[in-house]
Amino acid sequence: MKTISYKRASNQKELEQIRTLQLQNSSQNITSEEKLQQGFVTVQHSLALLDQMNSACPHIIAVNDNTVIGFALVMLPDFRRQIEVLIPMFERIDELMPKDKTYVVMGQICINKNYRKQGIFRELYHFYREELQHQFDYLITEVATINIRSMQAHHAIGFKIIDTYHEDGIEWNIILWDWI
């Protein structure tokens, strides 16, 4: 029986395991069939950036036998200029968000292929909310519209599409989970 725990990332080894899992599931490293059936991650964060983001507000991880088997990155708006592909999303969020509301961006979520369809995605998000709902009104992320599996999974959690835009030939949905 797999015992999975949910926690905040707290050491370099965990960040390295996040990076490894990210690379294994990058859209550049999997087949078109895998992308369609399993979903994919778009951005590859450097270990240094993962560490900076984690120092500001620790990432959410799922762990089994001291191994990170899933993660949901926490990205404060302060990091808006660190990843070029995310700049348009932040600019659109600035236009959409009421000034009196606070938000955090879920920078990326990914589950090890051997652990999928076991409720880990949902549990990562529930832990995320439990940990951060007292600091933020909303959790926001974006998903490429062609990533159908991810869009369906986020809808099931309670995310709603607040905007759709095109950038560099990709259509993106900005989605929001209201914690108020």
| Mean pLDDT per 10-residue segment, the chain (180 residues) | 90 95 69 58 77 96 96 93 88 94 91 90 96 97 87 94 93 94
Burial of 124 (0-12, 13-18, 19+ CB in 10 A): buried
**Closest among 52, 173, 170, 177 to 126, alpha carbons compared:** 177
Residues of the chain by 3-state class (helix, strand, coil), percent to 5: 40, 30, 30
Tokens of 18: 């996040």
pLDDT in the model for residue 115: 92
Question: Residue 140's closest CA among 95, 180, 88, 93?
Answer: 93
Map tokens 């949902």 to a residue. Answer: 122
Which residues are 64's β-sheet partners?
67
Yes or no: say if 165 and 88 are a contact pair by the CB < 8 Å rule. Answer: yes
This prediction's pTM: 0.88
CB 71 within 8 A of CB 30: no
Distance set, CA 134 to CA 28, 101, 139, 158, 163 (Å): 36, 12, 12, 18, 25
Output the pLDDT for position 1: 56
State phi, psi for 54 to the nearest 5 degrees: -65, -35
Q: Which domains does the chain have, with CATH numbers?
A: 5-178 (3.40.630.30)
The whole-angstrom separation of Cα 75 and Cα 91 is 15
